[in-house]
A and B are shown apart, each in its own frame.
Chain A
């Protein structure tokens, strides 16, 4: 399956298994979503389970919270992560805090899907990676898969989770893995082992990272598209990197991270999002706090620049294998 098919399969399955599951968002119903992720779901499950919504992110998330308070399990879509901002009040002030402020009287088990990330000539408002605006919010879970197998298993876990989950989908990975070599032809998921996805029910647990590549020289902490960029960088530099795909950004799997860095003694943090106060800062701080006496080099960060995401300068902005490889070399030389 592609990631698109895997995500659709997760929703299809959960719509079937749990009558409380509802899917809605802009263009999600009849048309099946601008990325085809919900294609066919309305025809199969009906208009009261899968439906189109007005162009109102605050309305979509706000109404979903009300539905969750009633007892449903809404899975809503924000068309691009770049457009979640009008819903931020509902996400931060309401979904994230409802359980705590009501001492469990009301809860908001909602899943908010958002296509994110760049590498697609999306410009300023079709490329952003706003994960840190969610990881900073207590009460939220933030998740980002990097392959079809995880995408399905994580989305099922997210829908079943009693907490609100921000589910970020790197749209650059929808149809195939992408390692930053934009001049090479796309490899489809059908040619990749993680593109093999069971038809039926399975889960990938939240708060569990995956060691994508076992290595001994240094640890790369990555997620989303950057997992493949890091793989390419390892291959091209010949550095035996251990690549940890975080999968759940927050709360995260600290044990896997600490175990890996303690083993390698070096760490490179990679993300598409802008650098300053980005999620990499938290990862860097965690590694420093938990692995200080095992570190043999300063922790490197490779990120998007501290600028809005440009259009024409796509590949100067996107942290490709060249920049990641250079950081890996610096970490090895230190």
Chain B
């Protein structure tokens, strides 16, 4: 061994290439052309998906053509339904952002730029399957036709809020739509999705679960718990990692994305894994369907990293111009999922600019009407919220004596 004076060690702290006033170099994304990634059989061994986990499944090319082995056979009607749900999600978000600025609601989180993932994934699942979403999958609810009035009542915490004003806006819960109760605590739902899937397998059911997590939250222990349990018990679950490049102000490299994809974590845990263009509606649908088929055939879990971009602010309490370039989304190489699907529909002669305008104005009117209907049940501004008495309910199945006493104290002002 040669002896020499060691140089001082240096701590590596990843930095995004782009900061305010300095454009992002997106070459770190390691993109692949549309149609290039192969589609393995659903029986594929996890180890044999290593290349897919490092590459990118894409269907729509720059001209809006669907190319390659992943191109799904979706009839134009379904594509239009998907476009409608994506647009509804985007228009709903924009409207609620305004409502937050008007102080009608205290808080909001949009999913601008990520609409394709939730919507197309939802369309690949079946009735009875259960999603364990994070707070940025409102597209699941809208794709499933949940009444917008109900969603807005939750956002307003008003007298008709199905969650009785207990939850922060956007923390929806809707069992009947296969949408698990959202928690503020990150990543917890990822392992719960695996447990739900295990239960379905224990009971010999045919339903599958779909767990959701962001790039930043993959650093939480429950991400690893979920991968381990899903692998060990071959749980019928789809593990979705939505890599929108940002966790509030933190670039995905700080979450561990610098020299390894999030999909590669799945391969390391023995789970078949895909890395997919999250702004490509057709690719999202095809990959989701492939993973769902695997799960339904007892072939076990699939991890999918959806590569997308968080186009909007993290939340209404966030100002992204403080930590990233203002024009970042315009420069993001995977573009806008809505525009890309519209281009595809136009390319196959199933869509026109006029239809797009009509659809947008229809949805605008629908959202405005829903907002008006919801506001009739009260808003934060007018204080018409569920009665204070109700905070003591549902803590337990039956109200214990100490909560009955406390409710009495509240009533009497003691």
Contact surface of A with B, Cβ cutoff 8 Å: 22, 48-49, 53-54, 56, 58-59, 62-72, 74, 86, 89-90, 93-94, 97-107, 138-139, 141, 161-163, 207, 251, 254
Interface residues of B in 143-170 (CB under 8 A from A): 162-164, 166-167
Cβ-defined contact, B188 with A89, below 8 A: yes
Is the CB of B209 closer than 8 A to any CB of chain A? yes
* Alpha-carbon separation in the docked complex, A86 to B220 (Å): 11
Is the CB of B414 closer than 8 A to any CB of chain A? no
- Which of A63, A68, A161 meets B191, CB within 8 Å? A63
- Which of A68, A72, A107 meets B202, CB within 8 Å? A72
The 4 closest A-B pairs by CB, nearest first: A66-B195, A63-B195, A62-B191, A59-B225
* Alpha-carbon separation in the docked complex, A62 to B228 (Å): 12
Closest CB of chain A to B107's CB: distance in Å?
16
* Alpha-carbon separation in the docked complex, A63 to B203 (Å): 15
- Which of A70, A105, A138 meets B181, CB within 8 Å? A105
Cβ-defined contact, A105 with B397, below 8 A: no
Cβ-defined contact, B401 with A254, below 8 A: yes
Q: A59-B225, A100-B395, A105-B174 are in contact. Are A70 and B199 (CB under 8 A)?
A: yes
Is the CB of B180 closer than 8 A to any CB of chain A? yes
Number of B interface residues in the complex (CB < 8 A): 46
- Which of A48, A65, A100 meets B166, CB within 8 Å? A100
Closest CB of chain B to A53's CB: distance in Å?
8
Q: A66-B192, A101-B163, A103-B173 are in contact. Are A71 and B199 (CB under 8 A)?
A: yes
Cβ-defined contact, A101 with B171, below 8 A: yes
Cβ-defined contact, A94 with B162, below 8 A: no
Cβ-defined contact, B395 with A138, below 8 A: yes
Cβ-defined contact, A103 with B162, below 8 A: yes
For B166, the chain A residues whose CB sits under 8 A away are: 100-101, 103
* Nearest A residue to B164, CB-CB: A103
* Nearest A residue to B232, CB-CB: A54
For B197, the chain A residues whose CB sits under 8 A away are: 66
For A56, the chain B residues whose CB sits under 8 A away are: 225, 228-229
26 contacts between A and B (CB under 8 A): A48-B201, A58-B191, A58-B222, A62-B225, A64-B195, A66-B191, A66-B193, A66-B195, A66-B197, A66-B209, A69-B196, A71-B199, A89-B185, A93-B184, A93-B185, A94-B185, A97-B183, A101-B173, A102-B163, A102-B181, A103-B162, A105-B163, A105-B181, A139-B395, A139-B396, A141-B396
Cβ-defined contact, A101 with B167, below 8 A: yes
- Which of B130, B175, B192, B199 meets A72, CB within 8 Å? B199
Closest CB of chain A to B395's CB: distance in Å?
5
The proximity string for B residues 68-99 relative to A, scoring 1 for CB distances below 8 Å and 0 otherwise, is 00000000000000000000000000000000
- Which of B195, B199, B401 meets A62, CB within 8 Å? B195
Cβ-defined contact, A99 with B401, below 8 A: no
Contact surface of B with A, Cβ cutoff 8 Å: 130, 132, 162-164, 166-167, 171, 173-175, 180-181, 183-185, 188, 191-203, 209, 221-222, 225-226, 228-229, 232, 394-398, 400-402
For B222, the chain A residues whose CB sits under 8 A away are: 58-59, 62, 89-90
* Alpha-carbon separation in the docked complex, A174 to B180 (Å): 39
Closest CB of chain A to B156's CB: distance in Å?
15
Closest CB of chain A to B268's CB: distance in Å?
15
For A63, the chain B residues whose CB sits under 8 A away are: 191-192, 194-195, 198, 225, 229
For A99, the chain B residues whose CB sits under 8 A away are: 394-397
* Alpha-carbon separation in the docked complex, A90 to B203 (Å): 24
* Alpha-carbon separation in the docked complex, A107 to B400 (Å): 17
* Alpha-carbon separation in the docked complex, A150 to B192 (Å): 32
Cβ-defined contact, B192 with A69, below 8 A: yes
* Nearest B residue to A93, CB-CB: B185
For B232, the chain A residues whose CB sits under 8 A away are: 54
Closest CB of chain B to A19's CB: distance in Å?
8
* Alpha-carbon separation in the docked complex, A94 to B396 (Å): 13
Cβ-defined contact, A66 with B164, below 8 A: no
Which of A49, A59, A74 is most buried by chain B, counting CB atoms within 10 A of its CB? A59
Closest CB of chain B to A284's CB: distance in Å?
16
* Alpha-carbon separation in the docked complex, A210 to B151 (Å): 48
* Nearest B residue to A138, CB-CB: B395
For B228, the chain A residues whose CB sits under 8 A away are: 54, 56, 59
* Alpha-carbon separation in the docked complex, A107 to B193 (Å): 14
* Nearest A residue to B167, CB-CB: A101
Q: A59-B228, A105-B174 are in contact. Are A67 and B195 (CB under 8 A)?
A: yes
For A62, the chain B residues whose CB sits under 8 A away are: 188, 191-192, 194-195, 222, 225-226
Closest CB of chain A to B55's CB: distance in Å?
30
* Alpha-carbon separation in the docked complex, A64 to B196 (Å): 8
* Nearest A residue to B205, CB-CB: A70
* Nearest A residue to B162, CB-CB: A103
Cβ-defined contact, B198 with A105, below 8 A: no
For B221, the chain A residues whose CB sits under 8 A away are: 58, 86
Closest CB of chain A to B414's CB: distance in Å?
13
Closest CB of chain B to A47's CB: distance in Å?
10
Closest CB of chain A to B49's CB: distance in Å?
22
- Which of A106, A139, A161 meets B180, CB within 8 Å? A106
* Alpha-carbon separation in the docked complex, A36 to B227 (Å): 29
Cβ-defined contact, A94 with B192, below 8 A: yes
For B229, the chain A residues whose CB sits under 8 A away are: 53-54, 56, 59, 63
For B185, the chain A residues whose CB sits under 8 A away are: 89, 93-94
Cβ-defined contact, B180 with A69, below 8 A: yes
- Which of B164, B201, B202, B396 meets A163, CB within 8 Å? B396
* Nearest B residue to A69, CB-CB: B196
For A100, the chain B residues whose CB sits under 8 A away are: 166, 394-395
Closest CB of chain A to B271's CB: distance in Å?
14
For B181, the chain A residues whose CB sits under 8 A away are: 98, 101-102, 105-106
For A74, the chain B residues whose CB sits under 8 A away are: 195
* Nearest A residue to B386, CB-CB: A103
* Nearest B residue to A61, CB-CB: B191
Cβ-defined contact, A162 with B397, below 8 A: yes
